[in-house]
Structure 1
Amino acid sequence: MSGFASYLPLSQRATGDDAAVSSDRRRALADVIDAAAGLLPPDDADAAARRFVDIAALTSEAGTESDPAVRMHALAERVRTGPRRRLRALAAGVRALLILARDRGAPAPLDPLVAGGVALYASTNAPADRRAVISGRTVRASDAEWSFGAGPVLEGTSAGIAAFLLGVSDDPPQPVTPRR
């Protein structure tokens, strides 16, 4: 490689097998559904499962199993083995999981890398007031090794950042105070 191109960040990328790289989000969405099944409240599991499925835009795929947790796990398996899913579908599932976790007062069992992908997606699709909060900033997860953007750093948990950008929480990532 010659000239200025050798100084560009992507020009120094190591070559390798990219066969595992895919835009298909079936597995991640199925994992989100399985995580939601584990958060269903014992006293109102059926209503919580139906609400999750509605928010996740999976109503047409929901099964008829009588036990809500079994129904959710069956849905996860149908998603896992069904047609390809886009990041938009994963974002809807993550939003539904974050709402369920918030309503239960429990932490969301969400993979930080999944939360990062969804947060990046949501950063371009969030309402203008939420995009304004992160505009001109670097958004960095405190519990994972991902960040996006440029400028002064705003930091939060990966799930917290995703929740803010998806409109589930009103708690934005916070400025990082420089260490002395």
Structure 2
Amino acid sequence: MSDLAKHLPLSQGQRGDDSAVDGDWSGALALVLHRIAGMLERMPAERWAAAGGCPGWSPAESAALLLWRLRTPARERRSALWGELPRHPLRPAQALEQRVRASAERTTAGAIAELKALADQPATQPARIGDLAAAVCAAIDISAAEGAASGIAPLTSGAVALYQVQRAPYAVRAAVRGSRLYAADADWSVGRGTVRESDAETILRFLFGRGTRLPGS
């Protein structure tokens, strides 16, 4: 799995002293945010509100959800989720997502400015792998609308894959069980079992629930 094990305690390497593990993903997050901003700067205006890589989602909605997550403290996000329970007891998370998506910017300018500001502001606390995963997911969705690869760095894509494979939708985890998904272009793998070779972006799309076919099958 290349050298990912020494960077991420969620790896399948041997457990031991994690004191040297760098849990701050601020630098990687900043790079992904700048990459998303670059995609939006190149994106034709008509694609901004059109369905993208996440079925039924536009780049505008993907950017809105990412920005809301990054600028809203975890406690406030939990409070917002609890606030949806009385009206939507069965699917509060989906209801909250719908509300956030409805707040999407009408043009790319505002989202681009916010993404760059978040990327360039001095980090007051370490960026968590969950925030990085959210940014990578948005990058993949938006790049699909752009018709190009997201260009996520190998270490970043591998770290997010290791994180996401444990949190993917049940159907995805069931499909991956018994397989080792190997990203030949990034030299990392997740899972154990039969080796299934693909590329990093295809594997990430599947782990985020954007694909219906197991990569490499």
Same structural fold, with TM-score higher than 0.5 when normalized by the shorter chain:
yes
Q: Distance in 1 between matches of 2:159 and 2:32?
A: 13
Structure 2: state its 5+ residue gaps: 1-12, 50-57, 74-108
In the alignment, which residue of structure 2 is the partner of 1:4? none
How far has the Cα of 1:121 moved from its partner?
Answer: 0.9
Residues 161 and 50 (structure 1), Cα distance of their counterparts in 2 relative to 1, 3 Å cut: same
Contact 1:45 1:68 in 2 (8 A): no
How far has the Cα of 1:149 moved from its partner?
Answer: 2.4
Q: Distance in 2 between matches of 1:171 and 1:27?
A: 32
Q: Distance in 1 between matches of 2:70 and 2:141?
A: 15
Contact 1:138 1:150 in 2 (8 A): yes
Q: Tell me which of the two structures has the higher relative contact order, counting C-alpha pairs closer than 8 angstroms and 6 or more residues apart.
A: 2
In the alignment, which residue of structure 2 is the partner of 1:27? 27
Structure 1: state its 5+ residue gaps: 1-8, 176-180
How far has the Cα of 1:133 moved from its partner?
Answer: 1.5
Q: Distance in 2 between matches of 1:169 and 1:52?
A: 17
Residues 10 and 55 (structure 1), Cα distance of their counterparts in 2 relative to 1, 3 Å cut: same
SS at match of 1:174: coil
How far has the Cα of 1:59 moved from its partner?
Answer: 4.9
Contact 1:112 1:159 in 2 (8 A): no
In the alignment, which residue of structure 1 is the partner of 2:36? 36
* 1:77 matched to 2:120: yes
Contact 1:142 1:155 in 2 (8 A): yes
The residue correspondences of 1:90-109 to structure 2 (distance < 5 A) are 90-109=132-151
TM-score by length of 1: 0.74
Q: Distance in 1 between matches of 2:187 and 2:203?
A: 14
> RMSD of aligned C-alpha atoms?
2.9
Contact 2:37 2:116 in 1 (8 A): yes
Q: Distance in 2 between matches of 1:49 and 1:33?
A: 14
**Which of 154, 162, 169 is the equivalent residue of 1:120?**
162
Dislocated runs of 4+, deviation >4 Å: 44-50
Contact 2:181 2:189 in 1 (8 A): yes
Q: Distance in 1 between matches of 2:14 and 2:163?
A: 21
Contact 1:97 1:108 in 2 (8 A): yes
Q: Distance in 1 between matches of 2:193 and 2:150?
A: 29
Q: What code does the residue aligned with 2:22 have? A: S
Q: What code does the residue aligned with 1:149 have? A: G
Contact 1:87 1:121 in 2 (8 A): yes
**Which of 47, 61, 64 is the equivalent residue of 1:51?**
61
State the identity %.
32
Residues 139 and 60 (structure 1), Cα distance of their counterparts in 2 relative to 1, 3 Å cut: same
Deviations 1:132-163 (A, max 9, x none): 11111111111022113221111211121111
Aligned length: 157
How far has the Cα of 1:118 moved from its partner?
Answer: 0.8
TM-score by length of 2: 0.62
* 1:143 matched to 2:145: no
How far has the Cα of 1:38 moved from its partner?
Answer: 0.9
Contact 2:178 2:191 in 1 (8 A): yes
How far has the Cα of 1:131 moved from its partner?
Answer: 0.7
How far has the Cα of 1:94 moved from its partner?
Answer: 0.7
